[in-house]
Structure 1
Amino acid sequence: MKPTITITYCPKCGWLLRSSYMATELLTTFADELNGVLLKPAETAGEFCISIDGEPLVDRKAAGGFPEITALKRLVRDRVAPDKSLGHSDRVHAKPDSGKDEK
């Protein structure tokens, strides 16, 4: 059975648009791997959590902010389709060379 992702968002905070954007990205990327994405209004102000079949994946308060979409896709991929390539989302950007030689 394919997993369902639930995005619980605070409607009073105006996070429905952010939630729907994330849902669209996840459904586009994982069209064959997911049962669906449920958008669920939170009962607690300021809540923004993402879970897969009831298991927590992201909590805005615990993480200190919202996840970047590329990081969220990697987290979901690691749980639902570990062998799936995410293309550019898999690339880790190298830090610029400081120009200093290590000794």
Structure 2
Amino acid sequence: MATPKPHIAITYCRLCNWMLRAAWMGQELLSTFAGEAGSLTLIPDDTGGVFEVRVDGDLVWSRGEQGRFPEITELKQLVRDRIAPAHDLGHADRGHGDSGDG
């Protein structure tokens, strides 16, 4: 019997008009983890300022805790660490934070 693939959920503030941001980040995650992710749900919420990303119910990112939105490479790394630790993110993994020639 096959193990179910991970579910990603993005809860966003509908009142803040963050649907496009949530949809874009969701699209990026689905594209990056096409073989590893099972599904993605966008959840509109009326709680002011909420923007959370969960994998199988476990909180990966909270704007309320971090005080900002994640950079997409940062979010991909966090999700990757949960669902596919061996997945190479290419340039997002190499030289991140280096002060070399770039």
Aligned to 1:49: 52
- Unaligned 5+ runs, structure 1: 97-103
Question: In structure 2, the residue corresponding to 1:2 is in which secondary structure?
Answer: coil
Confirm or deny that 1:94 pairs with 2:84.
no
Aligned to 1:69: 72
Aligned to 1:25: 28
* Paired residue type of 2:48: A
What is the TM-score of this pair, normalised by structure 1?
A: 0.89
Question: What is the Cα deviation at residue 93 of structure 1?
Answer: 3.3
Counterpart-to-counterpart distance in 2, 1:78 and 1:49? 17
Question: In structure 2, the residue corresponding to 1:95 is in which secondary structure?
Answer: coil
Counterpart-to-counterpart distance in 2, 1:70 and 1:58? 13
* Paired residue type of 2:50: E
> May I ask how many residue pairs the two structures share in their alignment?
97
Divergent runs of 4+, >2 A: none
Question: In structure 2, the residue corresponding to 1:13 is in which secondary structure?
Answer: coil
* Paired residue type of 1:22: M
What is the TM-score of this pair, normalised by structure 2?
A: 0.90
* Paired residue type of 1:93: G
Q: CA RMSD in A?
A: 1.4
Question: What is the Cα deviation at residue 43 of structure 1?
Answer: 3.4
